[in-house]
Structure 1
Amino acid sequence: MAYLNLVNKKGNKAEILCYGIIGDGWWDDVSSDEIAKELQAFGELDEINLRINSPGGSVYAGCAIYSTLKRHPAKINVYIDGLCASIATVVAMAGDTINMSSVGSLMIHNPWTVMAGDSKELRDKAEILDKLKESIIEAYMTKVKVTKEELIAMMDKETTLTSSEALEKGFITNIEFKPTPMNLNYPIMNMYNQKHNIKTEDKEDKMAAEKMTMEKLKNESPELYNEIFNKGVMEERNRIKSLDDMTAYATGETANKIILSAKYTEPKEANNIALELMKAMKETPKKEPKTDPNAKEKSVIEKMLEDAKEVNEAGGKEKATTEEKLDNDINEIVNFANQL
């Protein structure tokens, strides 16, 4: 029988894997009875990590697990690893912290059952379901940031929430593995803190400092704002100029596309696309030598390639393979480009 029980204990910390269907039947995966017994057997605990990936199951078994965890003196950390649906969401509400994977899902709905019988029995069952719904709502209301009416509406239409939506509505307290967007304010705040002699050695202080917005900086320190703004403008101008300079020796349609992309589509510095340009130029078919006396002087790179060839031939060295020559040429050109 695949009970979901305490699978790991280190010191005064334990972990419960709540993976599968919740219930106390022989066919279920997560047993409220087994979890209660295991917790009792482990004795005193300071912290319990509960990991959930469950479609739900028995309302009664789920409520029993919720109550067992709420009653336990240890700190309960819930981690929603994948799906947390139906009664599993009530189990999650037992957490002091409720963490959800950025790719997880949380689904709530009204309790339901399969039943048969006469009209009286069906009405009785309906009343029981209504009472179970109230119990479930009570568990949710200890955490959520929506009104009871809004919650009922969500349950009535069966609502699935992403991690961001679950956080916004208060079903969880934290999102795990969420991509961190590039924080352009952080280097700005370093300058701001240095200017005002503010130390941010502590992690919490740094996080608070990152919340500074450009608008706030503009209002509180206009001189520093203008200094940063002008510096940014100048750096961008220099970047574009460096890319423009590359067009003097990087010719051809492919090379132009690479430079345009580095300017506007995927901004890059000139030296970061040098190798890409060299390869593109190598692949461009060579044109016949110019015979016009007024023709434009050969580029620096063309001269470098010709000089390298002449030195090889004059020294009587064995001819390198095509691959070796290509590697040597590219290395010389990249070194030259990095010095631009």
Structure 2
Amino acid sequence: MAGDKIVMAKGAMMMIHNPMTSIYGGEAKDFREAADFLDKIRDSLVSVYADRTGLSSEELIQMLDVETWLSAEEAVDFGFADEIEESTAVTAYMRGAVASVNGVHMDFSRFLNVPKLPEPNNQRQRPAVRTVSPQNASTHGGVTILNLEDLKNQFPDIYTAAVAEGVTAERTRMQALDELHAPGNTELIANAKATGASVSDTAVAIIKAEKQKRAAAGNNMQQDANNSGINMVVTIAAEDGKATLEEKLNNTAKSIADAFNNIRGSV
């Protein structure tokens, strides 16, 4: 909507929807804050769309709520676009929740409302793919696979949408990793951020590390007790069954004193 003139290719489609985000492990106030923030973003979108189209806020909010898909003709009629470029046609079809636009596939399973595109069997011919040089593309199963540079140059809108989706996913991953941070796992979190590890894999790694720490701490405590001789106090007192009460008390006191002396001497 920032351009002075918006041109859509013949056969292209535009979709407007409410802003989305993800929250992991938040409290009630976190979800309320996230909802308020999303409402602010939606209000900004509505303001921009209203200035562009002349539609009312109520009409635009309803269109956002249902994830409205517009053909190039409808986008021009509503005012979202200025004109249609007849010379550049877009060939598209839908297979399940995956749309193919000029041979580039996009998964729409996360959306509530998917575009109404023809099934591939209803197409008279396979989707056309623009010619690219063999050095910059490969072919697999009769479908030309574009690299990022070709995708950016030939389909800038799809490239921009894919980059935005990737940025959003990475930002969500980083936020989720930050929420896993706790004293003692800083190195694990930093490594996960650097290597691209998933949040679930990182959580499992943290649990395993904590389990190993607890086991090591227990072993160290047991070893310290063995080295100090404190475990021998009860044994000595129990074995001295024939001694008098006073002798038993003296023996126990001496064993405890010896144990503390061992501890103090090892510090």
- Given the two structures, how large is their TM-score scaled by the length of structure 1? 0.25
- Given the two structures, how large is their TM-score scaled by the length of structure 2? 0.31
Higher relative contact order (CA 8 A, sep 6+): 2
